[in-house]
């Protein structure tokens, strides 16, 4: 379960019960554990090529959901922690002495700060004849207290491949970042090495490796033959979700597996699904870590991986339910038909920012950083490699692109985190539909570049743009 975020309450005399105070104390304690300074580091991943002139060590403070003053953060976080603990410990006792009427605990409304970059972006869309009803934008501070741009933020748009972020979050929350998918054959019965016959069942146990290839499956089949099995008196049994190559559904992948086994010379009585893990392992394949799989998926926006990963999680409905039940997005704000973002999916810009906000928070609590699973624009290979490449912007954006030229009249989306000098890290979601994908992409870049410059540019060269250390 994802920890619930809490907003700072205004100091006022209100009558409260002990139970809400305990809940607030628990939530605040969890959040205080996540409040840290976030220096950047040199990316050690071999797949990432950092520009030689770009400095690697930076100094950016991310104050999670409480502090906004970066210069005073180191002292503030300790004072805030101590004061908050004392307040929460004694608040219930003091509240019993208050005689004033109960005041509803209203949520603090975010401040709205109009930006020239946002106004220019809307004007450019209108001048090019694009309907503003088909566009959506929301830019907020990381804590959600300040809104910098808002256009149709509660309207559902097609997110395209941005929905892969939801699939990634659901997978990480369910399996963990260091999870490895395993695909193994088990011999359940007695093996006669002379006749190369297995008196029993040959069982394939799969956990749904989204990067399993036809070559991997062929290798597993040959290993079964090398183990001395060419005839199975029982069945070929497939247990668990199985997808590989271009077979995105377990039923199709299972039938293809049977054909592969026959081609390498393994005969069996029948093909069945289900069962339990039993017998002796005769062949096995282990995937990369889930974290590495997700980074590749999101950097290159690989639909096959996302769809197959979704199958392993339980399909689009499982990811949809995760967003509603665990992330807290209203059901009316999201609909997922494909976990890769293909076809017709819907999510509002507001729900998208809620997704990213919770995702960043979860990653922080799990000792991970956004760039561990999402690409850095202008730095990492993939769909963002040629965007924001200038010295003024390289490394300032971490996020996910989305492109569907033939759906909803042409869809281009971009969502993620922008790191700025004066406004700190901000969350953004830009949705464009019913128009030219290439034009939309250019306008998105101009918009965000203008916003970054308007916000003081990227953090100084001795501050990391996206390392969020615990």
pLDDT of residue 276: 83
Number of neighbours of residue 267 by Cβ within 10 angstroms: 13
The CA distance from 46 to 380, in Å, is 10
Query: Residue 314: CB partners within 8 Å, gap ≥ 6?
Result: none
Q: Are 141 and 424 in contact (CB under 8 A)?
A: yes
Give me the pLDDT at residue 111, please: 81
Least Cα distance to 340 among 170, 162, 209, 156 occurs for 162
Query: Which among 389, 374, 466, 390 has a CA at the least distance from the CA of 426?
Result: 466
Round to whole Å and give the CA distance between 235 and 201: 5
What pLDDT is stored for residue 316 in this prediction?
Answer: 97
Q: Tokens for 137?
A: 């934008």
Output the CA torsion sign for 347, 159, 292, 374: negative
DSSP string, 219-249: HHHHHHHHTT-SEESS-EEEES---BTTB-S
240 sits in the region (left: phi over 0; alpha: psi -120 to 50; else beta) called: left
- The predicted pLDDT at position 114 comes to 82
What is the maximal distance between C-alpha atoms in the chain? 90
Name residues whose C-beta falls within 8 Å of residue 331's C-beta, 6 or more positions apart in sequence: 324
Task: Give bridge partners of residue 238 from the DSSP assignment.
Answer: 204, 273
Length of the chain: 470
CA angle 124, 127, 128 (to 5 degrees): 90
C-alpha distances in angstroms, 251 versus 131, 212, 243, 248, 276? 43, 16, 9, 9, 18
SS3 call for 99: coil
Q: What is the pLDDT of residue 89?
A: 40
**Tokens 């819907």 sit on residue:** 346
CB 442 within 8 A of CB 466: no
Cβ neighbours for 250, distance < 8 A, ≥ 6 positions apart: 238, 241, 242, 243, 273, 311
| CA-angle at 33, arms to 429 and 93, nearest 5° | 110
Question: Mean pLDDT of successive 10-residue segments in the chain (470 residues)?
Answer: 29 30 42 38 40 35 40 44 46 35 51 90 96 98 96 98 99 98 97 95 97 98 97 96 93 96 97 89 98 98 97 96 98 98 97 98 96 97 96 95 97 98 97 98 98 94 43
- Decide if 245 contacts 216 (C-beta within 8 A): no
Domains of the chain from N-terminus onward: 18-95 (no CATH), 111-176+313-454 (3.40.710.10), 180-290 (3.50.80.20)
| CA distance linking residue 32 with residue 22, whole number of Å | 15
Count Cβ neighbours within 10 Å for each residue of 288-309 and write b for 16 or more, e otherwise.
Answer: eebbbbbbbbbbebbbbbbbbb
| Per-residue pLDDT, 40 | 32
pTM of the predicted model as reported, rounded to 2 decimal places = 0.78
């Amino acid at each position: 379960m994802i920890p619930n975020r809490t907003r700072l309450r205004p100091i006022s005399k209100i009558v409260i019960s002990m139970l809400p105070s305990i809940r607030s104390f628990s939530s605040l304690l969890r959040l205080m554990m996540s409040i840290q300074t976030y220096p950047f580091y040199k990316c050690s991943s071999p797949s990432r090529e950092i520009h030689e002139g770009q400095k690697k060590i930076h100094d950016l403070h991310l104050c999670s959901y409480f502090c906004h003053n970066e210069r005073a953060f180191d002292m503030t976080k300790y004072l805030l922690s101590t004061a908050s603990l004392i307040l929460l410990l004694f608040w219930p006792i003091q509240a019993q002495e208050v005689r004033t009427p109960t005041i509803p605990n209203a949520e603090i409304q975010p401040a709205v700060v109009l930006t020239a970059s946002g106004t220019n972006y809307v004007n450019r869309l209108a001048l090019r004849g694009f309907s503003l009803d088909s566009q959506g934008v929301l830019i907020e501070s990381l804590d959600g207290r300040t809104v910098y741009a808002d256009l149709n933020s509660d309207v559902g748009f097609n997110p395209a491949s941005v929905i892969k972020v939801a699939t990634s979050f659901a997978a990480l929350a369910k399996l963990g970042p260091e999870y490895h998918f395993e695909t193994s054959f088990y011999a359940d019965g007695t093996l006669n090495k002379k006749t190369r016959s297995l008196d029993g069942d040959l069982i394939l146990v799969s956990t749904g490796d989204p990067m399993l290839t036809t070559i991997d499956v062929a290798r597993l089949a040959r290993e079964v033959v090398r183990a001395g099995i060419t005839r199975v008196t029982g069945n070929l049994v497939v247990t668990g979700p199985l997808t590989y190559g271009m077979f995105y559904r377990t039923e199709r992948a299972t039938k293809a597996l049977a054909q592969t086994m026959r081609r390498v010379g393994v005969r069996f009585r029948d093909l069945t699904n289900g069962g339990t893990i039993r017998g002796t392992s005769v062949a096995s394949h282990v995937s990369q870590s889930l974290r590495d799989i997700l980074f590749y998926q999101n950097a290159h926006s690989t639909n096959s991986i996302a769809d197959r990963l979704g199958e392993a999680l339980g399909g689009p409905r499982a990811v949809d339910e995760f967003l509603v039940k665990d992330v807290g997005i209203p059901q009316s704000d999201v609909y997922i038909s494909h976990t890769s973002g293909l076809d017709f999916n819907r999510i509002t810009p507001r729900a998208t920012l809620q997704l990213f906000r919770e995702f960043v928070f979860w990653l922080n609590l799990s000792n991970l950083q956004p760039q561990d699973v999402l690409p850095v624009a202008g730095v990492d290979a993939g769909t963002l490699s040629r965007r924001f490449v200038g010295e003024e912007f390289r490394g300032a954006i971490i996020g996910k692109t989305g492109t569907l030229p033939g759906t909803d009249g042409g869809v281009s989306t971009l969502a993620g985190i922008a790191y700025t000098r004066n406004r700190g890290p901000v969350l953004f979601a830009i949705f464009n539909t019913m128009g030219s994908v290439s034009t939309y992409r250019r306008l998105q870049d101009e918009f965000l570049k203008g916003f970054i410059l308007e916000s003081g540019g990227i953090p100084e060269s001795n501050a990391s743009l996206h390392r969020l250390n615990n």
